[in-house]
Structure 1
């Protein structure tokens, strides 16, 4: 009998099955690398980045919004994703690394076979990053993964460049302009050709250019956005040069009338031998330069616009007209320097040089100093950012509870757990209550501590802002202006937060370590958190990533505005007294308003909409020492109980805290004026007091970094007076800003700054603060022979310079006397080795005699020069020309301050 023995089936244990599964999974992972790596490689047929360029032909000015051009193509299937620019946002953590990068993104769609050119503008501040900084770009798919990565080449020395943009149809005709730039800036000056296709549509991007020339150009090709950007750029401080001539219709006729300093009527000719340079400058031998040609010149005939200055005219035909528009300047030329006979004239480069110097002012000479020493630290247009961030913090919950409140809470906790608990148990004779008292005390004080934290810091998202709204003079359509908003987002918890900013404004982070040119030392924690900015058609979305608990992230938005109505002043100064009315036709009222004139101010309080207020101000009623040694912001601070220290010269982070609204306003004014306040005192870093024979004057580093001025920093340039006030009932000036899709609580305040017209009559003294001054001519054998090594301090090795002072007068000044005063000890706070030098008392000095049309020699003695019966030296539009020449050893001197006395007759 055959016996079959059947073995029992072995059942695998669960542990054995688990081990087998793990082994199979590991083997699968080991076999998968090839496929996984292949998925990370760019697709053979798909979207690609063909070309990337930064700025304008690779040139840009660091510290500005800079365009980045990207060419894309797609050889695969339909692609939807984003282009992402990664911009360094904080100082390097080490010599070879960057802490973080902010991202600027734009959504794209590329159908099969499509090619697309896009431009993304981003704020570039590579100077503070060092030479290892770089910008990268990624092409992201729909899931946010990078499918293509590029490194964008940058030039970290571009902040030394002076860029002049030229809009022209004949780009090869500007050799003389290039020569002028070379003479002024050596290799640091660059001419960049622009066209209707390359001219930016945003004023902030146009700030890469120090000046823009429109010459022989078909302006009708410009879009409305581009002409609006040009107008806004000028209003914010841009310099525009418009050339007329025989092609004036094609070049200028389609530009907005608001951009034109003159009304052009037709064409004509300028006879041979006529003066063509606005200033008859002196050569090395102090001889007048040749400024005429032997041929007739085709010109455009025009009539100068009101409130403009005719720099040069042939009879009643203006040849060069200058007009201040907002914070900038527009120049009109009746002739075209790029065509004959001027194209080959030897002095045409001097004509361009004069226009550039008028446009750029001290910036031209300060740029030369920077080129000689690249480590020189300059003041930028963002100097007040650090203080404004601190002032913004006062609108948020305090950082810490009161120390006395914490101490009281701690002592109460110890007292209850210790003696009070023992006493209560002994009195009640219930020992079992001891642990109940301990547990109850812990629970109660836990909730008290948590409630105290919520009460001090808040439990909701808070969105607060401070907006600086700079208005222009009103016209028939209303008032245009520019708004800069410091937006703070306070969050009570950790995580990512989405901020939606409506409108076409530019948005960038200004967390403390991301501030260009600022010496403010902020908390480093903010710099370790990045943000992603996604630009839409009419809005910007910001993804604040990795926000810490109870922190504030600060953003800055910039946008152009337009509103009905405006602010007008009918003010008159006679015998050193200001009188007149200020009228508000804006759709909102102003509170805590001030009118600023010269070194003085008058508080006018409330200024309701559609109302006027009478003001009077005695310019000599104040203590001369206090008025001349303090800024207007300091004077207002003193009137509200804050002590001022104008010579502190130390810019540190003070504990700015104030629950008082009026003191909070003082802190904002100090920030705008270049200073800061702590809880008791106000300080300045940019006031330079100069003592000359007991007279105190002062100069200020200008906010735009172009040089120095005797005007108070709160005064708008080109304005006889300035009105500053807080907009009232202006609800949510920034539009419906939301955080995580919800409208948040917070405080929004808007500071309005507007120019006011002033007329002068009768006997008057013009102090230095009333008189605009600028460099209008430089003669030097080589770049750097005339330079400005420190703000307000000039050095001439071999050469000469001409300063133009402009009085704010519309009538004739009689019985006049002028006094020029320089510093007894020139500001030697320079970073270059000057070596042996002489002072202003030992150089050749001249005043231009408008009646004789020649230069008269004058002499500085004890650093001062006075001239009585000075009518011959006061030219059309109140212009006074001072020529300073040196051909020996180095001469170093501070810009002479001018004071004029006389009687104005209409």
Structure 2
């Protein structure tokens, strides 16, 4: 072989061992995405995308993006957050998004500063119905995860996500879709400060937190100690867990179990204890939420193989206090957006008289005046020149005048609802911001206090001046949320939803809830409230109203800074007042929430009782939902307030669901969230509603006490048949329908001894047939038929009183009732089905 051939062979051999060149366009960025709650989400509610980003190439900067043109129309606008990725780096980043219910997947992209997509990842999504329950469990147990699938109302479903600590978001709005959060055998010491703050805020807003003990109790409570009703400091072994079995309706639960023990807070309640009075389950309320501490590990024996564990979880969830009508935030986005678009004192159109005067002068000038002048100078042929000139002049003049009449200043119409609680240092704010643009231009709207921000998705704009800005809006997320560089036409309104937590306003009150014995000719006594409210804030609170169970008390004068107002009011419930739905019961159907019969003893405004109580009977009007606002600024403000209340509160199943709590509702004219607008100077137009939970002390009497129907909550354990959203109030049951209701007294209304149990059934018409009503006997685990006596012949009311009813009382004195409707009974129209009890605390 020649020297040249040998040289070529050597070169070829060496190049064969050279590493292959990196292909052009191969991205150095890779993504891994955990979407929502193991792929679950709720419509139009924030949910987290935990994006793990890896960079195996050179330094790069860019942004993580979810946009409608890649993820589909279920995402109505773009969401993005900036990311810096040095070479070889690994980062976990949260991106928060919202979607419509028909979203099936979400695609996350990494786009660099040159607008080139370097990587993308698509993950599946599944929407959870408003009526279904969503639970999140965090555990590091090698055995598996705790099963919370038993926590749901009859006829609906429960969904569960199993998370790691890193999945907990750093913004509370991303947890609002979750009903129950459980920490079991997991190291919560790994929670960041932001994650711990998120959990605190979520509980105060109405979440149900369950923390378990057992052998690994120290790691499990490490990051949650200040929330717990019991502060664990040691462990011990017990054999008696019968108190837990009783909560689940079982006979006994025995076996050695390691439990965590410690000091119980003064404000906490021991729900279950061993025979030696060792706490097994302790509960406290925090804001609107509930925290339960189970001292034993549910994944360890004897609970691991116990068949009653599902009933225990259901008992815990169904015995929490009811949530008030406004606890779920904005329930009707269309109505909320309409409230923002009502601008008291502002008129989007020019006055009619100047406009008519301008047109008359224009017609007179180019017609008669032009003719008279040209005729006098004998130059009528100049009309071919003067008329086009006048037209041009008046066109320019009209444009200049109209342009200047709109001015250069935008208007930010801002409304908010501030909820505060006496045991939390923070308050929750849900608000809307409407941007009225004087001319077509681009804006950037920033919430400078870290509030979330997103365009309001509306089905059909009710206002012709409402701007559709969703598709073109990019919601950029850093420490601040901002809507970047979106366009609004002249005299149109772009509406955004926002929310945050703020320092609790210094508005508070003390209330005593006490029971008065029966008076002359009264069969039962009555509950009353007595208390005071104090405004230590710098704001003037107008139209203050005290809200309690079944009543409202309007205070006569505004609450000025430093003012103290006292009140006293008996809680005289209507004889037909319904029990409150449990937190497990909710409906998204207006036809189900606004049921088919009139409200008992009140007019037919259905779910609007809370709205009427706050806005006032004299100011309330059904015409608000069908007519235009009035002419005066005061009428427009009232119109705006009622729309806001209607959008953010709903008395589901005809109950205001205030329980034993008492609230102050009052208005102010200052928005508590901070806003910045780029693109024009602006002026605010603010309306804020304060809903303050007052500190209530229940004074239990030593004598016999009556617990009325409005002091119970209810939940359907089973719904079988065609009837949807069956309730113990205003329901039509068809042949073949079966429903099981469970009634539980409110916390603070649980009697130590129950002497009498009364069952009331009110039908829409008199019926001579026997009603198939059964009660569950907890001793024999069987159903017993109850003979319902008619109050009088052909009466619509049937009633039965049971003395010494202990066999019908479950955990927390709960009563389980079954109705089975067959062809013999036919259609059964139930106006009200209720439980009452009498006994001693």
Q: TM-score interval w.r.t. the shorter chain? A: 0.7 to 0.9
Contact 1:463 1:745 in 2 (8 A): yes
Q: 1:868 Cα deviation (Å)?
A: 5.5
For 1:840 and 1:559, how far apart are their aligned partners in 2? Answer: 54
- The equivalent residue for 1:122 is 97
- The equivalent residue for 2:13 is none
Contact 2:726 2:739 in 1 (8 A): no
Q: 1:773 Cα deviation (Å)?
A: 0.4
Q: 1:232 Cα deviation (Å)?
A: 1.1
- The equivalent residue for 2:284 is 323
Q: Does 1:530 align with 2:472?
A: yes
- The equivalent residue for 2:112 is 141
With the length of structure 1 as denominator, give the TM-score of the two structures: 0.71
For 1:607 and 1:402, how far apart are their aligned partners in 2? Answer: 37
Q: Does 1:804 align with 2:744?
A: yes
Contact 1:171 1:193 in 2 (8 A): no
1:227 aligned counterpart, secondary structure:
helix
| Pair 1:869–1:409, CA change in 2 (3 A) | farther
| Pair 1:180–1:603, CA change in 2 (3 A) | closer
- The equivalent residue for 2:816 is 883
Q: Which residue among 276, 280, 292 is the counterpart of 2:244?
A: 276
Q: Does 1:394 align with 2:394?
A: no
Q: 1:243 Cα deviation (Å)?
A: 1.8
Deviations 1:816-839 (A, max 9, x none): 88563455389xxxxxxxxxxx99
Task: Specify every segment of 5 or more residues in structure 2 that has no aligned partner in the other structure, as ranges.
Answer: 1-21, 517-525, 575-598, 791-795
For 1:341 and 1:607, how far apart are their aligned partners in 2? Answer: 57
For 1:136 and 1:200, how far apart are their aligned partners in 2? Answer: 19
| Pair 1:631–1:564, CA change in 2 (3 A) | closer
Deviations 1:284-307 (A, max 9, x none): xxxxxx431343444344665455
| Pair 1:226–1:421, CA change in 2 (3 A) | same
Q: Which residue among 660, 664, 679 is the counterpart of 2:637?
A: 664
Q: Which residue among 845, 855, 869 is the counterpart of 2:775?
A: 845
For 2:610 and 2:173, how far apart are their aligned partners in 1? Answer: 29
Q: Does 1:195 align with 2:199?
A: no
Q: Does 1:711 align with 2:650?
A: no
Q: 1:424 Cα deviation (Å)?
A: 7.8
Deviations 1:306-328 (A, max 9, x none): 55555444464443344333232
Contact 1:809 1:877 in 2 (8 A): no
- The equivalent residue for 2:493 is 552
- The equivalent residue for 1:204 is 173
Task: Specify every segment of 5 or more residues in structure 1 that has no aligned partner in the other structure, as ranges.
Answer: 1-40, 91-96, 282-289, 363-378, 646-650, 676-683, 687-699, 702-707, 827-837
- The equivalent residue for 1:293 is 253
Q: Does 1:614 align with 2:566?
A: yes
Contact 1:658 1:664 in 2 (8 A): no
Aligned residue pairs, count: 760
For 1:877 and 1:357, how far apart are their aligned partners in 2? Answer: 13
Deviations 1:732-775 (A, max 9, x none): 522252323x662122332211112444677998765x424033
Q: Does 1:348 align with 2:303?
A: no
Greater Cα offset, 223-232 or 444-453: 444-453
1:225 aligned counterpart, secondary structure:
helix
Q: Which residue among 429, 433, 437 is the counterpart of 1:491?
A: 437
1:481 aligned counterpart, secondary structure:
strand
For 2:153 and 2:543, how far apart are their aligned partners in 1? Answer: 49
Deviations 1:375-398 (A, max 9, x none): xxxx98642322221111123843
For 1:221 and 1:66, how far apart are their aligned partners in 2? Answer: 22
Q: 1:506 Cα deviation (Å)?
A: 1.8
**Aligned Cα root-mean-square deviation (Å):** 4.9
Contact 1:74 1:113 in 2 (8 A): yes
For 1:657 and 1:427, how far apart are their aligned partners in 2? Answer: 52
Q: 1:875 Cα deviation (Å)?
A: 12
- The equivalent residue for 1:463 is 412
| Pair 1:520–1:167, CA change in 2 (3 A) | farther
Q: 1:596 Cα deviation (Å)?
A: 1.4
1:33-52 aligned within 5 A: 43-44=24-25, 46-52=27-33
| Pair 1:183–1:896, CA change in 2 (3 A) | closer
For 1:568 and 1:765, how far apart are their aligned partners in 2? Answer: 27
For 1:756 and 1:467, how far apart are their aligned partners in 2? Answer: 20
1:711 aligned counterpart, secondary structure:
coil
With the length of structure 2 as denominator, give the TM-score of the two structures: 0.76
For 1:296 and 1:114, how far apart are their aligned partners in 2? Answer: 49
Q: Which residue among 278, 300, 309 is the counterpart of 1:339?
A: 300
1:277 aligned counterpart, secondary structure:
helix
| Pair 1:666–1:330, CA change in 2 (3 A) | farther
Contact 1:471 1:755 in 2 (8 A): yes
For 1:786 and 1:183, how far apart are their aligned partners in 2? Answer: 15
For 2:814 and 2:691, how far apart are their aligned partners in 1? Answer: 31
